[in-house]
């Protein structure tokens, strides 16, 4: 798919204002003489992913959004649990054992700092409280932000993670005017 660019821009070679951007290749070129002005133009739009007309109409994002309520903010990758290759065929037994070993190392490498282990434990507790209290994602994000700030300022040391997460969630409920009592949260 090719779309026109701002008509005020001019080609440095022929001087015409017929610049075009090819969204498939990411090139910005002159529509008159064919001179390629820039290659691999950064796409500033959303990273929509679709492979068929139905998916294009439904448009889904390519990956989960980042979240403060995840120990890695949702930026890590994991090796999936299915034992199939990219085409959907089952893996051979030798490849299964290799992939299983890689999954183990992938899991171990996810949390190698004490801070990451603390976040993982804290945010699993926060997820449990979210289900128990039926609070929205905005409240959970605020609670995660409060907990991260408390950890950053050294207020967590010597206190139980579950108590601090409960207090962060209570503070987030108060801040977002979500009606939950201290008894509900604790």
Domain count, the chain: 3
Tokens of residue 159, six digits = 């206190």
Confidence category of residue 9, pLDDT binned at 50, 70, 90: confident
Same domain, residue pair 153 and 103: no
Which range of residues forms the domain containing residue 167? Answer: 114-185
Same domain, residue pair 172 and 119: yes
Tell me the C-alpha distance between 153 and 1, whole Å: 51
Max CA distance (Å), the chain? 74
Tell me the pLDDT tens digit for each residue of 129-178: 999 999 999 999 999 999 999 999 999 899 999 999 999 999 999 999 99
Residue 30's beta-bridge partner residues?
19
Last residue of a domain, one of 85, 110, 135: 110
Sign of the alpha-carbon dihedral angle for 110, 115, 117, 120: negative
- Could you tell me the pTM of the whole model? 0.53
Residue 48's beta-bridge partner residues?
61
Query: Mean pLDDT across the stretch 2-31?
Result: 72
Tell me the C-alpha distance between 38 and 53, whole Å: 30
Query: Is the residue at 60 inside a domain?
Result: no
């Amino acid at each position: 798919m090719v779309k026109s660019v701002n008509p005020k821009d001019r080609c440095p070679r022929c001087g015409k204002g017929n610049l075009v951007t090819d969204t498939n290749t990411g090139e910005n070129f002159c529509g008159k003489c064919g001179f390629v002005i820039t290659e691999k133009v950064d796409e500033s739009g959303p990273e929509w992913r679709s492979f068929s007309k139905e998916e294009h109409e439904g448009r889904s994002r390519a990956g989960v959004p980042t979240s403060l309520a995840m120990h890695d903010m949702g930026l890590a990758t994991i090796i999936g649990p299915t034992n199939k290759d990219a085409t959907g065929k089952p893996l051979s037994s030798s490849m299964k054992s290799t992939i299983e070993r890689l999954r183990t190392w992938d899991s171990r490498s996810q949390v190698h700092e004490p801070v990451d282990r603390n976040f993982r434990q804290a945010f699993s507790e926060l997820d449990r409280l979210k289900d128990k209290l039926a609070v929205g994602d905005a409240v959970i994000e605020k609670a995660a932000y409060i907990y991260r700030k408390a950890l950053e300022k050294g207020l967590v040391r010597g206190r139980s993670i579950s108590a601090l997460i409960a207090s962060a969630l209570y503070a987030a409920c108060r801040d977002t005017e979500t009606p939950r009592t201290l008894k509900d949260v604790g």
